[in-house]
């Protein structure tokens, strides 16, 4: 049967971007406009604009990351994600106030580290191993896609020397997406890389590591605070960033401009 012109699929009816998400998108765009129209990259308006662009842009990508998990789970048969509001891209639905918002923002501000953000609670036991891996990897894949899109746009339009504050801010946001992709793929309990690996582990191993899931981000932070590990990790992220052809200094300047209070 051919659907009529007013027929809307269940998944399309369920995906409803929330006013909160749309407001964050507007804030990111507003920050971008302020950075774009700044008189110079050193102007106060440039720094404030970059801060808003990166901060709001980061929240937008956290929502997209978690939506990727939820949408894939919904397609795999978990209708509970709709009831929990996960298909609305509302950051409030995904967030633990401290671990999802405060801690990641603090680390972006003081060290340029894009920690994994929010979380969606899925009924993993209902999925076959292949589906669980697909659901787990959907979030990091979203970050990777965002990073590629941003870097392609910057490479094509942002290296001519005009509106530098805007392009530097966008470059730092792309840098954070690469970092979020890599961090989320690490096989640390509580992160997506471990969730993708978990179906292949024995029951005893899964049970033993279950207690560490709540502390995955904290474990990650502890390792990144080790200078030697930090240097190697950031070197790898800058190497991946450099593959785009966008100068590494763009991300470094964007990081500096975001911290407008310095």
Q: How do residues 48-68 score in pLDDT, each as one tens digit?
A: 999 999 989 998 998 899 899
Give the HSE-up count for residue 208: Cα atoms under 13 Å, Cβ half-sphere: 5
Residue ranges of the chain with pLDDT lower than 50?
1-8
Q: Residue 80: what pLDDT?
A: 85
Q: Which single residue is written with the structure tokens 């680390």?
A: 107
Helical ranges in 37-159 per DSSP H = 44-75, 80-83, 91-94, 103-111, 129-157
Query: Among residues 68, 57, 13, 24, which one has the least CA distance to residue 170?
Result: 57
Cβ–Cβ < 8 Å for 88, 17: yes
Distance (Å, whole) CA 249 – CA 63 = 28
pLDDT given for residue 1 in this prediction? 39
Which residue bears the tokens 């789970």? 73
pLDDT for position 127: 79
pLDDT at 2: 38
Token digits of residue 6: 């007013």
Q: Are 60 and 29 in contact (CB under 8 A)?
A: no
The DSSP call for residue 37 is T
Q: Of the candidates 94, 110, 115, which has an alpha carbon nearest to the alpha carbon of residue 24? A: 94
What would the two tokens of residue 120 be?
Answer: 């969606």
Nearest to 125 by CA among 210, 184, 182: 210
Pairwise CA distance, residues 168 & 255, whole Å:
8
Give the residue extent of every domain in the chain: 15-258
Please enumerate in sequence order all residues whose Cβ is within 8 A of that of 45, keeping only pairs 6 or more positions apart, or say none. Answer: 34, 35, 37, 38, 39
Give the residue numbers annotated as catalytic, written as ranges: 66
Q: Which two tokens stand for residue 248?
A: 């590494």
Provide Rg for the chain, Cα atoms: 19
């Amino acid at each position: 049967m051919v659907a009529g012109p007013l027929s809307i699929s269940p998944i399309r009816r369920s995906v409803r971007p929330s006013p909160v998400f749309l407001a964050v998108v507007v804030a990111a765009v507003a920050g971008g406009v302020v950075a774009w129209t700044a008189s110079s990259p050193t102007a106060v308006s440039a720094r404030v604009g970059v801060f808003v662009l990166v901060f709001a842009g980061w929240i937008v990508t956290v929502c997209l990351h978690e939506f990727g998990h939820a949408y894939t789970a919904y397609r795999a048969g978990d209708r509970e994600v709709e009831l929990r509001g996960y298909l609305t891209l509302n950051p409030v639905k995904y967030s633990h106030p401290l671990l999802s918002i405060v801690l990641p923002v603090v680390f972006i501000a003081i060290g340029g580290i894009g920690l994994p953000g929010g979380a969606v609670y899925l009924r993993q036991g209902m999925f076959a191993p292949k589906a669980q891996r697909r659901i787990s990897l959907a979030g990091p894949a979203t970050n990777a896609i965002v990073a590629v899109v941003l870097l392609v746009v910057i490479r094509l339009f942002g290296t001519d020397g005009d509106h530098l504050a805007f392009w530097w801010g966008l470059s730092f946001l792309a840098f954070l997406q690469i970092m979020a992709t890599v961090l989320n793929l690490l096989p640390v309990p509580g992160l997506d890389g471990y969730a993708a690996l978990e179906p292949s582990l024995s029951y005893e191993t899964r049970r033993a590591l279950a207690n560490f899931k709540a502390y995955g981000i904290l474990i990650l932070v502890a390792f990144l605070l080790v200078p030697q590990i930090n240097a190697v990790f950031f070197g790898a992220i800058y190497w991946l960033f450099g593959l785009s052809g966008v100068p590494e200094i763009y991300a470094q300047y964007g990081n500096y401009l975001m911290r407008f209070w310095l």
